[in-house]
Structure 1
Amino acid sequence: MKNSLPMLYGFRGASTAAMLAGVLAANAVLAQQLEEVMVTAQKRTESMQDVPIAIATVTGDSLETFNVVNLEQLRGSIPNVQINHFGNAPNTAVFSIRGIGVIEPDPYAGNTVSIVMDGVPQYFNQVALLDLFDIQRVEVLKGPQGTLFGANSTGGVINIATEQPTGEFGGKARLTLGNWNRIDSSIAADFPIIENVLAGKVTFMQHSRDGWIRNIVDGKDMGSRNVTAGRGYLKWTPTDDFDATLIAEVVRGRDGSPVIANGAVPTDRLYIPNLGYERPCSDQQSACEAPDKYRSANDSTPDMNDLDSYSGTLTMNWFNTAIGDVVSISNYKQYALENYTDQDASADWIMDVYRDTEGWQLSQELRTTFNPSDRLEMMIGGFFMQTNYEQFQSVRLQGVVPGLTQTYPQEQDNWSASVFMQNYLDLTDSLVLQFGLRYSVEETEMDASTYNYVSPDGIAQWFPDFNPQGAVEAEGDDTWENLGGKIGLDWAVNEDLMLYGYYARGFKSGGFVGRIGIPEDIGPFDPETVDTFEVGMKGDFLDGLLRANLALFYNDYKDMQLAQIYNVDRPDGIRIQGNSIVNAAGSTISGLELDLTAIPTDQLTLRASFAYLDAEYDDFEPIDPATQLRVDMSGQPLQNSPEWTASASARYDIPVASGLATAVLEYSYTDEKYLTNLFNRPRSLVQETHLVNASLQWAPDSDEWSVSVWARNLLDERYITSGFETTGFQGFVSYAPPREAGVSFNYRW
């Protein structure tokens, strides 16, 4: 019965599509044509309909409509794309595209979905949930993008482009007031410095709100947000053949501590009488359900989650040189993240965590595009990145052994270098052969340790200043090489219809584990690969009133890197917990995606997207830490891989009182999925979700200002977003936001 609802929707969707086609044909004379969407998915500006891969695009206007302030708030809006954060690390991104993603809070696990902002890959998943302000568009490129975007993009790429300087005086300002004491303000100002030569721009954003989870210990809110960010631009255009843009960005976050709720079976050990809260999980064999009132507990840690990030990017373009159009992108970024978490989420001091991470990345890309002949376009280039991070994690286990503290210091140095080429050969006037290669070398060094301290006074300390009573120390150094590529054909049947197909190999490099229980945990773990076959269609029909894009794909996913938690007995007979990443699994992933856009009249725009995903393990037998027995996971679904996802929206524009009123209604559906438990246990099942967003805006004919009212999760549905089960008593869950609503004011000059 589980699949009957999507199948019924599919039948109804086909009927609806036929009816819609009739309506569109009847109104062909009345309606305008669909807007052309420009993207840089192939590192050149072109129409999305001309790019032979599956792409979803979210414009800056769409982000503003529903007051999206960071990437995670796009959750559910793009089928076959899962955007979450790790349960006890709200800044840490958990991205999955078509069933391929990394679920681990520490940086050593790397990424399979690459976040790229203004041409710069964001290496660290801990700061990859970027704050979005003054954004031109967000492009989601599905499937391996290793040829153009490098290793560690086996799932895909989220490509973000900010609004660039215009060289003309102008700007915009926005103020938002909402529930949970939300106040957002932003401003972007363009100004010429030397006319037609030097342009400047500054943008600023401030976002704050209270948390929507109540602390049962002191009655205060938990999970508050307070982020301030700014960007400055200088664009120099001394000649028609050269320009350079310098971007400096600063982000300062002063949020409340990471919040989790304990879904464990209630006992006096975990919950002080009269200070408990409604548990989301009734027992270990049942799926968790979000309660009507969000409650948790923090009785032992400061309410602190501080982030400071600094970035500088220099992009230079040389046009019409002897070696083609040359692009150079140079970047340096550093960040510091410090927070505390009450890890047991109860009104008793059992376990809490302190984390302090500092990291930096330095990258350089240089490429050129030229035409050796009338029918061949070539892009060749090189890329280099160097990164470093240091993390100190301290865990106080007061409720396990009085006075016990475990610390986990780790430091990783990493560098990667690659050369790549991408070619487009016109076999005929309508048939293009696309082929590319990328050769990569990557080296990683890791120092990781675990120290046990028992305080003489029986009170655990975050920063012990006495000798450890047990230590595990390890280090590793290894290098990986890879040659990957892509080959495909795209056929322009006519000016409105393209068919395409391609094969690509994606590669994620190996690495080392930074949080270890025994020396052998450090690894190294080996690379993983994905072989992808995709065929698709992109077409505009009915004189540009209907757009339909279809993609079908098949992935052969080999040597999957999966994080495991297990128990091991030391020689002295003490059982400890180990952490590792193993290459023990392979899987097959297949599916389809259909995107529809229609404009039945000048006033109405309709959009709908549907996706099906079949992502299962072929061969995987991990050891269950509770029983120490192997579990056959063959045929089980991959984590973060819902079978069905869909979204739909309607926008209606109507003249009202010498102005224009715009109403937008958006719906998204995500099927049930497993998240953050390797064994797909019931408490890690995330229920199917139905989310509705709505917005109503009015602007005068001058379009100088506008006012809008909006709501996210309009029906105030309560959902679990992730469940994490460790050995022992704990079962942590994270909650999706309740209804958020407010009013926004915009002004342009």
Structure 2
Amino acid sequence: MGFRKRLLWGATFASASSLWLVPSALAQSVDSRIETGRTLDEIVVTAQRREEQIQDVPLAVSAFDGSAIESLNARDIRDLASVVPNLVISKVAIGPSMTQVSLRGVNSQDPEKSFDPAVGVFIDGVYLGTSAFNLLDTFDLERVEVLRGPQGTLFGRNTTGGAINAIRSSPTGKFGIKAKVTVGNFERLDAAAVVNAPIVEDLLALKIAAFVNTDGGQWKNPSGGATGAEDRWSTSTRLRWTPNTDLTIDFTWDHAEDDSELTPYIPLGVAAATTLPYRITGVPPTPATILAASPPDRFCTIAGGRCRQTDFSFSNVTDPHRMDAKLDAYTLNGDWKLGESWTLTGVLGYREAAENVYIDFDGSNLTVFNVVRSQDYEQWSAEFRVASNFDGPLNFVAGAFHFNSRYALRQAIKLDVAMVSPIPALGLAYANASGDEDNHRAKTTALFAQADWSIAPDWTLTLGGRVSWDDKRIRTKFVGSPVGMPPTRAAYSVSQGVPANRPVTSSGGASESWTEFTPRVSLKWRINDDLQAYASYTRGYNAGGFSGRAGTVLDVTTPFNPEHINSFEAGFKSDLLDRRARFNVAVFYNDYEDKQEEAIQPGPPPTFTSTTVRNVAGARIMGIELEGTAILSDSLRIEASAGFMNAEYTDYKGFVSTAQYISTPPQPAGTLLRADLSSLKLRRVPEMTASFTPTWEAPLADGFLTARATARYVSEQYAEFFNDPRGRIPGQTFLDASISYRWGGKDNDRMSLTLFGENLTDEQDTTSFTNSIVDFGTVASPRLYGLTLQVNY
């Protein structure tokens, strides 16, 4: 289905929904067809750094309170993607609790810490500077807000796609406990608890939360290696000090450890060329027939036919494929009411993490391509802002922000020389323990302000802006195998870690600074108490920096500049049927400037190329988003969402290497050819996402029985930059369902028992693909089911 047809379908859906709501509203006063006393909850969000009703905020926001999050039966925030339009969240199998988030088609694919995520993730107001440890557990979350579109004014850099703003529960100052245990298939056993207690009544309160998630792995492994078994735990301690009614200060300490196995990689090599969808425009040095294609995978052709694996239920990894990661985080939140009209808010955060990750990239029972990555990371940030609460026509929020991070990476590989040289046979010689070491530092300082001005009755003009000063530095060195470590079969295993005293083959360093201004203009029209329309312009940017994954010192130390998005959005929000129905629509147009994308540069033997990041492309993304909720009776509630996008490169000219074309006869080693890459589809950008969720609830005996199901659809998307068919994720329909019974206490919430199932249709396909020295990828989780018992006292 083409985008125009999808857009037409969406417009039809919106029109049909509106037409249904109007006669229903008229009929309500005549024959009370919807007989219910229930109304939709008022949802309070902080999307504009102040507390507001979600329907009053002039931007696209999806919000979930604690009960809505619990109804997803999710371990982590990935399940938000099932009900938020144009949101894709993928787990990354290269580090602890690591994600790739794509929102409105804007994403950052590389998890290397020298790159910044394009969708900001915040926990209790603290910006998470890397994609590691940002796959947040859902148990203790009080609220999650998904802000769609650039948030550069109030949330800063690296929110060009949007922001995920998560807020955990606060100490109650009363004795209480919430605990749950979940058992499920694949030997799943999860446990979590939150304990509240007063220390000094009305002055000091304590909350302790903890969870542990374990399972036996979702993949069989006949070779006896990793199955993707999860083993992670976390604890959080929060103290709340309230010396008076105007001042609240929270201090939080978090500790997390992740000793899980990585999601197993599977071989995705092919014995024949794979055609790629772009046009080669350059003239090769040797006259030849040129085909845009990935050539056969060398591992596939020389390793006894270990080619593309089609059965996704098992893995054959035998070398180390796991992690050992620890995180400590400290957060200080404060709110001080300065009289009736002012509130001062401060957020201080410090996070430090240590990671050792062992990776079997070839996904086979042979030792072909193994890596150990040892990283130390720390960040600290501070934000202070003041918000007004005047009775008059003007209110504002203004503040200052500072962020500082640094990390050190030490990496070592074990690579079968047969992968890069035709001389030795497989399994005879290895490049042992060579690799690279990087030290990186990033700093950002910003000043921001946003004002809401009631320029006329029912009309509000919003003006905002942020000035950011960014500075980044990197030192890199490439190292060879340690002296005395010969290239033999058993000389080195990555499980031994990164050896010391490796000889330096090349090194260098660089620094760069940038200054950016990101404005926002919005106009809101309050049509009546239940309907508003708005239009806005916002500019966002992703920070510039250095490509820590590049293959030469020159490419690592050559900076790329910030990329920018000019975003135009319009929409309306409506509460109908005496607040028993809600329908919101947003349309948007994003214009990418100086887009950061992969660029292939000349490199040294044996690869002859280096893939890095440069500002080489332009793109546009346009779409529509629909969200609706209706209470049809005291027992039945329905929720639906749909997102439609059309994304394309407007300009992208670059080079391709022999890894992306086939020449007959072959070209000299290292020959790069010019190509027009603008016909490629942007990664992780499905044209359509949709969900439909009915929830039925009725009294039963001394409690309540609730049944819920979610059907969601995600259309075709590509996980790999060059749109290799092996990285194509087909359109998929997923079905999740649960049935729960809750009882006890005056609100029937003392105890609950929930039977749930996820991906009941057992949709399982690739979720990532990498064309490298070996071709490998990951696949989605199979059907999952389980039983949860929860108690609240």
Same fold by TM (over 0.5)?
yes
Match of 2:360 in 1: 342
What residue number does 1:298 align with?
317
2: CA distance between counterparts of 1:273 and 1:618?
Answer: 40
Query: Distance in 2 between the 1:734 and 1:685 partners?
Result: 12
* Equivalent in 609, 616, 639 of residue 607 of structure 1: 639
- C-alpha separation in 1, matches of 2:263 and 2:736: 26
The aligned residue for residue 471 of structure 1 is: 505
Whole-Å separation in 1 of the counterparts to 2:161 and 2:128: 15
Q: Report what 2:232 is aligned to.
A: 227
Does the alignment pair 1:403 with 2:447? Answer: no
1:100-499 counterparts in 2 under 5 A?
Answer: 100-218=106-224, 222-265=227-270, 270=299, 279-280=308-309, 291=311, 293-301=312-320, 303-321=321-339, 324-370=342-388, 374-400=392-418, 402-405=429-432, 406-453=434-481, 455-459=485-489, 461=492, 462=494, 463-464=498-499, 468=503, 471-499=505-533
Give the letter aligned to residue 488 of structure 2.
Answer: G
**CA pair 237-437 structure 1, distance change in 2 beyond 3 A:** same
Is 2:645 the counterpart of 1:617? no
Residue in 1 that maps onto 2:275: none
* CA-to-aligned-CA distance 1:350-398 (integer Å, 9 cap, x gap): 1111111110111111111125771111211100111111111112112
Looking at structure 2, the residues matched to 600 and 120 of structure 1 have their Cα atoms a distance apart, in angstroms, of: 39
Identity of aligned residues (%): 29
Supply the distance in 2 between the matched residues of 1:265 and 1:681 (Cα, whole angstroms): 11
After TM superposition, the structure 1 = structure 2 runs for residues 549-568 of structure 1, keeping only pairs within 5 Å, are 549-564=584-599, 566=600, 568=602
Cα deviations across residues 518-546 of structure 1 (Å, max 9, x unaligned)? 22202100111111111110001122121
Cα pair 2:480 2:502 within 8 Å, conserved:
no
Determine the C-alpha separation between the residues in 2 that align with 1:138 and 1:509: 25
Q: Check conservation: 1:648, 1:668, Cα contact below 8 A.
A: yes
Task: Note the C-alpha offset of 1:113.
Answer: 0.6
Shift of 1:150: 0.9
Task: State the Cα distance separating 1:516 from its structure 2 match.
Answer: 3.0
Name which of 521, 525, 541 aligns with 1:507.
541
Counterpart-to-counterpart distance in 1, 2:58 and 2:546:
36
The separation in 2 between residues aligned to 1:700 and 1:8, in whole angstroms, is 43
Counterpart amino acid of residue 308 in structure 2: R
Which residue type is aligned with residue 294 of structure 1?
A: S
Aligned partner of 2:768 among 712, 722, 736: 722
Aligned amino acid, residue 592 of structure 2: Y
Residues 408 and 515 in structure 1, CA contact (< 8 A), matched pair in contact too: no
For 1:465 and 1:483, locate their aligned partners in 2 and report how far apart those are by CA, in whole Å: 44
Q: Secondary structure at the match of 2:109?
A: coil
| Offset of residue 10 of structure 1 | 6.8
Q: Is the alpha carbon distance of 1:521 and 1:253 closer, same or farther for their aligned partners in structure 2, counting shifts above 3 Å? A: same
Aligned to 2:580: 545
- How far is the alpha carbon of 1:11 from its aligned partner? 5.0
CA distance in 1, matches of 2:612, 2:297: 33
Equivalent position of 1:691 in the other structure: 734
Instruction: Identify if the C-alpha distance between structure 1 residues 193 and 340 changes in structure 2 by more than 3 Å, giving closer, same or farther.
Output: same
Deviation at 1:271, TM superposition (A): 7.1
Could you tell me how far 1:699 is from its partner in structure 2? Answer: 1.4
Q: 1:284 corresponds to which residue?
A: none
Structure 1 residue ranges without an equivalent (≥5): 281-289
The answer as to whether partners of 2:727 and 2:766 remain within 8 angstroms in 1 is: no
Deviation at 1:480, TM superposition (A): 0.7
The AA in structure 2 aligned to 1:160 is A
The alignment status of 1:681 with 2:724, answered yes or no, reads yes
Do the aligned partners of 2:358 and 2:373 also contact (CA within 8 Å) in 1?
yes
**1:187-212 Cα shifts (integer Å, max 9, x gaps):** 11111111111111111111111111
8 Å Cα contact 1:6-1:644 kept in structure 2: no
Q: 2:743: which partner in 1? A: 700
Q: TM-score, structure 2 length as denominator?
A: 0.88
Q: 1:58 to 1:275 in 2, by over 3 A?
A: farther
Distance 1:745 1:492 in 2: 45
- Structure 2: where are the runs of 5+ without partners? 272-295, 422-428, 662-671
How far is 1:300 from its partner?
2.7
Query: SS in structure 2 opposite 1:138?
Result: strand
Supply the distance in 1 between the matched residues of 2:743 and 2:122 (Cα, whole angstroms): 36
**Cα 1:574/1:693, change in 2 over 3 Å:** closer
Q: Take 1:47 and 1:371, find their aligned partners in 2: how far apart are those partners?
A: 15
Preserved CA contact (<8 Å) 2:300 2:307: no
Q: CA offsets per residue over residues 311-333 of structure 1, 9 Å max, x none? A: 11111111025992111111111
Q: What is the CA–CA distance in structure 2 between the aligned matches of 1:268 and 1:569, rounded to whole Å? A: 20
Displacement after TM superposition at 1:90 (Å): 6.1
Distance 1:479 1:685 in 2: 37
Local SS of the residue matching 1:520 = helix
Say whether residues 1:70 and 2:76 are aligned partners.
yes
Distance (whole Å) between structure 2 residues aligned to residue 543 and residue 226 of structure 1: 48
Question: Bigger shift: 391-400 or 739-748?
Answer: 391-400
| Alpha-carbon contact 1:123-1:361 (below 8 Å) kept | yes
* Shift in alpha-carbon separation, 1:196–1:382, aligned structure 2, 3 A: same
Aligned partner of residue 166 in structure 1, secondary structure: coil
Shift of 1:104: 0.4
Tell me the alpha carbon deviations over residues 275-333 of structure 1, each in whole angstroms, 9 at most, x when there is no partner: 988834xxxxxxxxx63x522222332x4212211111111111025992111111111
Which residue does the alignment assign to 2:293?
Answer: none
Q: What is the CA–CA distance in structure 1 between the aligned matches of 2:151 and 2:603, rounded to whole Å?
A: 43
Decide whether aligned partners of structure 1 residues 714 and 21 sit closer, same or farther in structure 2, where only a CA change above 3 A counts: farther
| Distance verdict in 2 for CA 1:543–1:635, change over 3 Å | farther
Greater shift, 411-420 or 271-280, is seen at 271-280
User: For residues 465 and 432 of structure 1, do their structure 2 counterparts lie closer, same or farther at Cα, with a shift above 3 Å needed?
Assistant: closer
- Change beyond 3 A, Cα 1:589–1:671: same
Amino acid at match of 1:106: E
State the distance in 2 between where 1:277 and 1:711 align: 34
Q: Kindly tell me the number of residue pairs found equivalent between the two proteins.
A: 730
Q: Is the 8 A contact 1:683 1:731 kept in 2?
A: no
Deviation at 1:509, TM superposition (A): 1.8
Instruction: Give 2:64's match in structure 1, choosing from 54, 58, 69.
Output: 58
Residues 201, 234 of structure 1: 8 Å contact kept: yes
Q: Is the 8 A contact 1:257 1:304 kept in 2?
A: yes
Structure 2 residue aligned with 1:283: none
Contact 1:138 1:160 in 2 (8 A): yes
